[in-house]
Amino acid sequence: MPACKNCKGFVTDRYVRVFAPTGMDDVRVCPNCEDKLRSGAEVREAHSSRHANK
């Protein structure tokens, strides 16, 4: 089962096909990771939270 390498959360096979580098079975960061995000080929710390507090 594919998972996020950062938070270990579940991700779909489709998400992995789109966002994981070629040859990887898991993604490095997923949409649920508020502290990190993809930046080109790298993963970096988020400058601010990606989820608005309401």
For range 32-54, the mean pLDDT: 63
Q: What is the pLDDT of residue 54?
A: 46
Q: Identify the bridge partners of residue 10 per DSSP, sorted by sequence position.
A: 3
Q: What is the pLDDT of residue 52?
A: 52
The pair of structure tokens assigned to 22 is 């070629």
**pLDDT for 2-40, tens place per residue?**
998 888 999 999 999 988 888 889 988 888 887 766 666
* Residues whose CB is less than 8 angstroms from the CB of residue 27 and which lie 6 or more positions away in sequence, other chains included: 2, 4, 5, 11, 15, 16, 19, 20
